[in-house]
Amino acid sequence: MVLLQERDKQKIIQVHYWKKMMKETNEVIGKLHGIVLLIHNSVEFSDIVDFLNKIRSDEQLHMLYISLVNSYSRIKETLKEHPLKSKQLFVVDCVSGFLIELRDSPECAYRKPPGNLEQLKELLMKFIGSQNPNIVVIDSMSQFINFSTPTEEELEDFYKFLRSIKENIWGLSNDSIILLYDDKVGYLQSLPTISIDLILKLEVIREKPRWKD
């Protein structure tokens, strides 16, 4: 009886339809433009590299990668085995920014992690202005919002951030802005419905082979 009463109190707040893409995958990702939210469950940076390699692979592109979860040294090690093809990469390392012995280079800048979305926007505008990239990647938005249990304030700040990207940053980098989100933090209860051009979900399933050679 108690369970039935609890169900009666529940309300549908959002309905999500997911389409598993097979043949369309290369076409959709290969022509990727706009502001994209990429939801993923991967723990390996190489999986993200594989995704990025599929984006407009026939073009020579300059990519700005704002990293809040992977150090530049780890990214560089991964790229030795999984190279990023047809794209020139510039990394803003916000993981190692506290290490004073590290110095900026033509491939990387070290900065302290932004404490909120407003500081992230300022960081974006600074490096978009200096790098003039075709593609911007932010890894990861999970540092600022949890879509499994978002507060009204978090959602409001996130939508404000998206609107600001559209109004202030889109003119500087009018190609692709990819927002990575790690969904391992929990079930996706609330997803942005405005100011996002495309939502993609990347699921990586790993298991030991059941057969032997």
* Residue range 29-64, pLDDT digits in tens: 888 888 999 998 877 899 999 999 999 888 899 999
What are the sequence ranges of the domains in the chain? 30-183+194-202
Judge contact between 79 and 47, C-beta under 8 A: no
CA dihedral sign, ordered 101, 107, 112, 113? negative
Q: What is the spatial distance between Cα 62 and Cα 43, in angstroms, rounded to a whole number?
A: 25
Q: What is the spatial distance between Cα 72 and Cα 208, in angstroms, rounded to a whole number?
A: 30
Q: 74: helix, coil or strand?
A: helix
Q: What is the topology classification, in CATH, of domain 30-183+194-202?
A: Rossmann fold (3.40.50)
Q: What is the spatial distance between Cα 204 and Cα 208, in angstroms, rounded to a whole number?
A: 13
Q: Tally the C-alpha atoms within 13 A of residue 86's C-alpha that lie toward its C-beta.
A: 11
Judge contact between 76 and 49, C-beta under 8 A: no
Question: For residue 64, what pLDDT is reported?
Answer: 96
Confidence band of 4 (pLDDT split at 50, 70, 90): very low
**Cβ neighbours around 92 below 10 Å, total:** 22
- Mean pLDDT across the chain, nearest whole number? 83
Question: For residue 62, what pLDDT is reported?
Answer: 94
